Structure 1
Amino acid sequence: MNETVICAVGNVATQPVFRELASGASARFRLAVTSRYWDREKNTWTDGHTNFFTVWANRQLATNAAASLSVGDPVVVQGRLKVRSDVREGQSWTSADIDALAIGHDLARGTSAFRRASRPEAGTAGTPSQPEPSWETPPPADADAQQRPEPATVT
């Protein structure tokens, strides 16, 4: 099926609202996406129009988003765009929602510290946890020998 998948870069506009439902965890927050352009007359960058999206996250993404995001955080959201229109009480409205597939902090605008989400305990669903590999490059073998002191000999 054809779906419109978008990537939106903006700021978290509302504190994420987390709910534990019968179908699993769900979270939502508003995302503000403001265009910027170079104003030649003022010789400066200027904010353009701001679009607001309601971002919906489910399952583990919802849990992690609720624990990680705060108002004002710069984020990148990838997901399926859903545009809905309706008429209520004589008023027509349109909403643009993003059913999130991935959410992350925008590292072009700051730093972030990643913490792996806890996994289910051993014996439950999922794979057993494995230790993280060591990504450090070991020192050369001869450099290691030069740094170690000689063992003392006892006579």
Structure 2
Amino acid sequence: MSDSITVTGIVATTPRHLVTSSGLAITSFRLASSQRRFDRVKQTWVDAETNWYTVSSFRQLAHNVVHSVQKGEHVVVAGRLRIRPWENADRNGTSVEVEADTVGHDLAWCSTVYTRSPPTNASAPQPAEQPTDGFLPADAVADAEESPQAPAEAGAGMLVGVDS
């Protein structure tokens, strides 16, 4: 089953980042999504059940997620829903996963600062001076914004959360 889904929730685990032997970057985390509703009888807001998702991101998005998203933050995730049954010797269950196309902070809960990230593809042009933290220097960001390159050539965007 492969359906598109958009989910809002709280990052429940520290994002786990790895790079495979073939160079594929993967970042994953657990997302808790709870619904709230107003109980007219009690005249108060109540929490409904919590849905749990494993969110996986790949390539440039994986690099941006690991640098931008932290446990406890409110995020919006859009991607493809994957529901798979599993079993081992002791138990069985169902895995609910979202293969993310987009991950961003939920601006109803915080504000963010946009920082352009460098391309991670080895064949892509790299800036002359590459900082060790993986972010472009401020002057390189200004140069990239002034250049006529397409956004994909200039590097994908990254959001950094700032709690309000």
Tell me the number of residue pairs that the alignment of Structure 1 and Structure 2 aligns: 131
Distance verdict in 2 for CA 1:7–1:19, change over 3 Å: same
Counterpart of 2:113?
113
Percent sequence identity is 38
SS in 1 for 2:31: strand
Write the mapping of 1:11-30 to structure 2, written as runs, cut at 5 A. 11-23=10-22, 24-30=24-30
Maintained 8 Å contact 2:60/2:119: no
Task: State the Cα distance separating 1:126 from its structure 2 match.
Answer: 5.0
**Distance in 2, Cα, partners of 1:94 & 1:104:** 26
Distance 1:35 1:113, change over 3 A: same
Whether the 8 Å CA contact 1:11–1:74 is kept in 2: the answer is yes
Letter in 1 for 2:34: T
TM-score relative to the length of structure 2: 0.72
How much does 1:86 deviate? 2.0
SS in structure 2 opposite 1:66?
helix
C-alpha RMSD over aligned residues: 2.4
Listed as ranges, the gaps of 5+ residues in structure 1 are: 134-155
Q: Deviations over 1:111-153 (max 9, x none)?
A: 01111102469xx4259985424xxxxxxxxxxxxxxxxxxxx
- Comparing 87-96 with 43-52, greater Cα deviation is found at 87-96
Is 1:132 the counterpart of 2:148? The answer is no
SS at match of 1:132: helix
- Displacement, 1:99? 0.5
Q: 1:5-46 CA distances to partner (integer Å, 9 max, x unpaired)?
A: 100010100000000112411010000000111111221111
Matches within 5 A, 1:56-135: 56-119=56-119, 124-126=123-125, 131-133=144-146
The alignment's TM-score, normalised by the length of structure 1, stands at 0.76
| Structure number with larger C-alpha Rg | 1
**C-alpha distance in structure 2 between counterparts of 1:131 and 1:92, whole Å:** 50
Aligned 8 A contact 1:83 1:96 in 2: yes
Structure 2: any 5+ residue segments left out of the alignment? 128-139, 147-164
Aligned to 1:145: none
Shift in Å, 1:100: 0.5
Distance, in Å, in 1 between the alignment partners of 2:63 and 2:119 is 13
